[in-house]
Structure 1
């Protein structure tokens, strides 16, 4: 006869010590550093190459900006913090956001109307959200007009020679080649937000699945290539003329044929 075995006790995770759950972020970091340096002055300690000393210094000062959690996570790994303590460190890190300045970056995809990169800044308990200007500043520095041809040579593509939107798209690529083929990132940064670098790369390199050319993409490409306001106006006018012709042709094709009824008798 088999003796029944008592049911196995459920595995209960080890709770976080009360001292850890209530400790400040700076206190936990100081305790970890003291254990790593055997209580010696951490500023006099010889740290292994690659240790993020600047992040370490920031994390210990309650008045300095809180480093990102990504940096703190890497720092905990460098200092040999046990994985079981990461929960307590993260909880203390989140509490530190209530009294320390911090910032974070949020990126919204180009599929959204509010597409862009935004920075969240927390200072003194007040959160500020503003658009990141890194790319726009860079774009302003790089915004140089296209170099014209020498007198007697007119090699610049003329948008008014296009007889279809497809030809206009190819002429836009010729314009891109005429200005020495700037990179897709270069174009996106100077386009005024007309497209992402991935979108314009599909257009200029004629990749499969590229989006249909729109006026926004067209003018953004000309602007990104250094075309001035007058140049952009020429391409916009060519687009409007072709778009009007396409709509007129489409209406003509869909116009129903008039059929007279047969005469009686």
Structure 2
């Protein structure tokens, strides 16, 4: 709801610090290590990349208000624009574009409801939303297109999408597989906006909500499986559909939504 880039940045940071205790909820060594990695990635990128880009934007545009015209439209060249664009996209690391995605699998040490909050609703979607506002209100789609910078956005998103999807296939831990799936799904959102046309951007923005419904279903199913069986590794879940048919039916529906099979919302 921010009316300017500074407010957006401040509340982005506030979300990092307020969710940090949730990641370390179990307070064992694994939880503490995961929480430290979570906070280190998010704060280091936001202070080291997003904040300098914000300050440069303020100097070049003379304002940080989202008042209509994009802040940097016509005020930077292709080279400087490319640097600022990458700094913003990687600085808002909650969007989990590679190579600043490592915080997200590390957060899997959290309890399942927290994982669902982080991966389906609050944290990752704030990152995707910040990327959208950078593209549309800091640079503007038309200006990025005129500079030929859309390829940077789509390139980062495409590489992240492919690598995370292949990595997900190698994961035996169910929640960890879902984590890498989330990284890929976020890239679909960024990819849509990075194509710099209204139809693709609308699809990417709609996927914020659609992915939330599907992924939170999958995480809750993973939690139900763990509570009922104590298992978190896929290789040990043979016959789970017979033991928990309703849970796995919900898992199937959530999976179909994530891959966009009609008539689910993801389509």
**Larger helix share, 1 or 2:** 2
TM-score interval, smaller chain: under 0.3
Structure number with larger C-alpha Rg: 1
TM-score normalised by structure 2 residue count: 0.25
Structure number having the greater strand percentage = 1
Identify the structure with bigger relative contact order (alpha carbons < 8 Å, sequence gap 6+): 2
TM-score (norm 1): 0.25
